[in-house]
Amino acid sequence: MPQKQKARSWSELKQAGNECFKTGQYGEATNLYSQAIKELDKSSTKNPEDLGILYSNRAASYLKDGNCGECVKDCNMSLEFSPFNVKSLLRRAAAYEAVERYRHAYVDYKTALQIDCNIAAAHDGTNRMTKALTEADGLSWREKLPPIPVVPLSVREKLGQKTTANAAQPTPTTPQTETTQAKKPAPAEKDLKRGQVLKEEGNALVKKGEHKKAIDKYSQSLKLNPAEITTYTNRALCYLSLKQYRDAVRDCDEALMIDSSNLKALYRRAQAHKELKDAKACVDDLDKLLKVEPKNTAALKLLQEVQKKK
């Protein structure tokens, strides 16, 4: 008689969800996080902070799958359990931005900056929202904003310490994202210059068709300057050429965490998703790209190819 499989604990389910997230299996990650939430809810020792993290993790999976409504709901739950959680604020902001609820996105980005004024993604998001709201509402756009919550100093200090302490902990996001990226000190001038030289050496190798060697140069460059978007998109191009599609997706994820509307990252991730037979993710990326640049011929052509295969 086969042995009954031992039920997994909520922490084991969470870890399994994290692993699925890292490999781009967002639907399975969502399922595992949902099971973990149920298990933790049943537990007599449940901790609100743990529940907040699980809801935030599931929100990240929903966001990756383009399910912005569920992402917002999970971020709301996470923020009830763990008020002013930076990752939940940033994920909710990204979801609001994707569905063009720019005022709400602006409020979340600004709230995140109260907690940590160095978050690059929040600065970039605030700038994008300011531009979009100025275009929509004119110079008086601030008058139409919902109130921006004031983050108490005690909360800012506590969360700031926690962010630093957790910087090395594995999370269901890609390595250089959100607060982890922001917490790294700015690269020294000599590192930036050396990083640029390595990047240019990588570009020269790409022109010769030496993609493996170029990847090595880009990787060295990113160690010195991990915030350079074009190095990620260039390395993604190399991964595409070598048919390493999951690696290409990861590099595009990195670039899009820095700038969520980067056209090269959206297009190259769409190409990788197509090769990975993920038509939905491919179309989602192309739709986002075409919102920014409706007449992008390469994107329109790829969209036509994918829709024919459906």
pLDDT (tens digit per residue) in 103-153: 999 999 999 988 888 888 889 899 899 998 988 888 888 888 999 888 887
Phi, psi of 173 (to 5 degrees): -115, 170
Domains of the chain: 10-164 (1.25.40.10), 189-309 (1.25.40.10)
Please check the confidence at residue 161 and state whether its pLDDT lies above 60.
Answer: no
Quote the pLDDT of residue 160: 58
pLDDT (tens digit per residue) in 12-28: 999 999 999 988 899 99
Quote the pLDDT of residue 74: 96
Determine the Cα–Cα distance for residues 252 and 283; give it in Å rounded to an integer. Answer: 15
pLDDT (tens digit per residue) in 215-262: 999 999 988 888 888 899 999 999 999 999 999 999 998 888 877 888
CB atoms within 10 A of CB 194: 17
Task: Classify residue 171 by burial, with Cβ atoms within 10 Å: 0-12, 13-18, 19+.
Answer: buried
What percent of the chain stands above pLDDT 70? Answer: 87
**What average pLDDT does the segment 259-286 reach?**
90
Amino acid letter, residue 37 = I
Predicted TM-score (pTM) of the model is: 0.53
